[in-house]
Structures are given as structure tokens and as C-alpha cells.
Structure 1
């Protein structure tokens, strides 16, 4: 019985850790140096096609559901 309880707890912990960054893992960001504008670096998602400009670091969430600016 204690082994079963330990197994259930382990499954719950793994499920929580797997869901924690689910929104981030949907997009896979790649830097596009040709599209950069001064201090802003352009990033393209190879998974959904979203574009983002950041001054520091890669985007930290999926932007696939947001409308593109300038349209």
C-alpha cells in the first residue's frame, strides 16, 4: 500500500511539472538577425510562425493567438 501511494504522488508531481511551462513550449523561437531593428532583435517561431521583437532575451510565451501588428 505505501508503494502505491508513493507512485500516485510521483505521477501527480510529474504532471504538475509537465504542465508548468506548457504555454512556453508551444513556440520554438529562433533569432532573425536580418530582421532586427537597432536594439530590438527579431524572433520567429518555427512552430506557429509568430514574430516578436525583444530587447533582451527570447520571448517567454506563445504568441500564436495574438494578431500581428501593422495589419
Structure 2
């Protein structure tokens, strides 16, 4: 019985602390290098942005439908 209670609390804590606002787990970014900055395109949703070379965007930039 104690094990079940500890298990439920552990699952709830994992859900709370693993939530990331602007999650990008489904985003698949492709980089196109330019002068100083890179152009990033998500092949999953089509979002585009610019940023430093080699640093993928940390938030999902998917347009709201």
C-alpha cells in the first residue's frame, strides 16, 4: 500500500517538473547557415526563425490555428 502511494506521488512530481512551456519535442529543426546568424526551419510544422549558429530554438514557433 505504501508503494502505491509513493508511486502515485512520484508520477505526479515527474509530470509537474517535466512540463516545459513551449515544448519542442515534436519540432524537427533544420539549419541553413548564413553570415553570423542561421535560418532555422521546422520540417514538422513549417515555422521559421533566425538565431545563433548551432543553437536550435528552444520553444515551438508553430503558428496558432
Smaller-chain TM-score range?
0.7 to 0.9
Distance 1:65 1:40, change over 3 A: same
Q: 4+ runs of 1 displaced by more than 6 Å?
A: none
Gaps of 5+ in 2: none
Deviation at 1:48?
Answer: 0.4
TM-score (norm 2): 0.72
Deviation at 1:40?
Answer: 1.1
Deviation at 1:2?
Answer: 0.9
Deviation at 1:4?
Answer: 1.3
C-alpha RMSD over aligned residues = 2.1
Gaps of 5+ in 1: 67-71
TM-score (norm 1): 0.68
Deviation at 1:52?
Answer: 1.1
Deviation at 1:18?
Answer: 3.9
Q: Which has the higher helix share?
A: 1
